[in-house]
Amino acid sequence: MLGFVDCVWYDDSQGLASCLLEQFGSGECGKRGVVVGYDARHNSRRFAELSATIFLNKNFKVYLFSNFTPTPYTPYAVVKFGCVAGVQVTASHNPKEYNGYKVYWSNGAQIRPPLDSDIQSHISANLNPLPTSWDTSALQKASSDILDPLASVTATYFTDTLHLCYRREDNASSPVKIVYTPMHGVGAEGAREAFRTFSLPDFIPVPEQIDPDPEFRTVAFPNPEEGHSALGLAEKTAERHGATLILANDPDADRLAVAERSDPSTREWDILTGNEIGALLGWWLFKNYRDSHPHFNGKNVYMLASTVSSKFLQRMASVEGFQFEETLTGFKWMGNRAHELLQQGHEVLFAFEEAIGYMCGCRVLDKDGISAAAVMAEFAGWLAGQGKNFRQQLDELYARYGRFESEVSYFVCHSQDTFTQLFNGIRSRDDGNYPKTCGPYVVDSIIDLTVGYDSSSSPPDFKPFLPVDPNSQLIKFILDDMTCECTLRTSGTEPKIKYYIEISSKIGETVSKEELTKKLRKVAEAVVSEFLQPERWGLEARPTQ
């Protein structure tokens, strides 16, 4: 008998199978098949096997991983085997009670609108489990329709990461001691192999967190974005071993956090923000691309970032002559846009989102914390050879392109009605119109991707250049003579309202980190008190780190 939660997985897989059969036909589905992967959370393997059974019963070829794997392996496998789709059972960095169902289309990118709505319609039309839905015994029978892709994928995935390795002959002598944690997840084996592939010295594991544990026993939240509260054991391990760099994957290994000890004389760890890591990786990948392509055509080379992420790459692109594009939030947009650019004959070097997600190259059209960890480790070794660390490198980049400082945080709210009222209140704050000011700062322009309004666009429709989504809340404000950008949005997966604020200086303008950070805090205080009004709406502050 299927339990309630089993039925949810059945519904999703049955609906996806129905949609795939409609889109590709039974012949292609049987020939090309689907990939099914899973992480090490409670019941992930069972849910993956239930999903695989449903596809198998619908005469799909099924590539079912025999063990838990990092999420990036699944989109990689979709492209490698030419499948019609892929499914990863994972809840990424969410608490232990969660699990989820991540879908990739035939191009290896996450599904996006309107395809997600089409799949949802098929799910709603296929809610009746068959008597055989629970019987996974067919997965154990030898058949050409059920295959284990694990060995094949790991054999080529790491070879394919070598196009991101630029100094392999020097890596073995890297002086940087690195501590690594997979945050009780599935990243350790992949990270080890990536380091070996790059000829990097072995990392020092955090022993309490190196093995998969669905209980996530040593952290309140298994999310390396949460700062010192999540990285505390890694910091202690690094101190014991005299390491100066920490790399942390989230539990499904598609994200990467980085912390370094910039000043060995102190006990303080400098946790780089997602925007700072994005700036560093973007520069590093471009530098090495340009070194090997001295006559590169900038019109053909792209980098991408989500709309809530730093505009550092946009500034760098304007100086260096390559192309930059902004997308909606999430790799479902960046991965698909990267695929479109590749189909048009362009090169995509890098894409990132501030939530510590990075796509280095295009072998995986999604964020990939395994390859990003190896790239950052090699980068750190190169910097150490010049007597520098990541913070010093960032200062050099800011001297060339202008300084960027950002603040990203959130409030918790469990009421969708409150979200709607809060955002509608912002839209009508000044005599029924959008705000003209935020504290002492003048609002220069507004982009509202919920209703489809961009004040800087052409009248009479004022249409924004990014897609509109009436089912989510997102308003962006450009403040203070175009030097500050603030975005307010609701999370698509968690009960949160997030705010993203970035302030930048102009190229050639001399301004210290302290000056810009002081102004950033003033803007953030104004945004919280005037726009978000947590006391009025009963918003819960982000837990202190």
CATH number for 497 = 3.30.530
How far apart CA 74 and CA 312 sit, in angstroms, is 30
Q: Quick one: 9 and 25 in the same domain?
A: yes
Check residue 145 and give its pLDDT.
86
Task: Give me the phi and psi of 521, to 5 degrees please.
Answer: -65, -40
* Residue-number span of the structural domain to which 37 is assigned: 4-148
Q: Quick one: 375 and 256 in the same domain?
A: yes
DSSP 8-state code for residue 110: B
Domain endpoint, select from 401, 432, 460: 401
Check residue 140 and give its pLDDT.
79
Residue 459 above 80 pLDDT?
yes
Domain endpoint, select from 126, 148, 170: 148
Going by pLDDT thresholds of 50, 70 and 90, the confidence category of residue 1 is very low
- Greater confidence, 479 or 127? 479
Cβ(257)–Cβ(270) below 8 Å: no
Q: Quick one: 359 and 219 in the same domain?
A: yes
Instruction: Compute CA 70 distance to the chain's CA centroid, rounded to the nearest angstrom.
Output: 13
Q: Report helix, strand or coil for 456.
A: coil
Check residue 349 and give its pLDDT.
99
Q: Quick one: 446 and 520 in the same domain?
A: yes
User: In whole numbers, what is the pLDDT of the chain averaged over residues?
Assistant: 94
- Greater confidence, 143 or 92? 92
- Residue 482 burial (CB count, 10 A): 11
Check residue 228 and give its pLDDT.
93
Enzyme catalytic residues: 92
Check residue 4 and give its pLDDT.
39
Residue 340 above 70 pLDDT?
yes
- The pTM for the full model equals 0.95
Q: What's the whole-number mean pLDDT along residues 268-291? A: 98
What percent of the chain has pLDDT above 90?
A: 86
CA dihedral 70, 72, 2, 18 (to 10 degrees): -170
Range of weakest confidence among 177-191, 371-385, 408-422: 408-422
Can you point out the beta strands (E) in 390-541?
404-412, 437-438, 441-448, 453-454, 474-479, 484-490, 496-504, 540-541
Beta strands at 484-490 and 474-479: parallel, antiparallel or unpaired:
antiparallel
Q: Quick one: 108 and 169 in the same domain?
A: no
Q: Quick one: 392 and 269 in the same domain?
A: yes
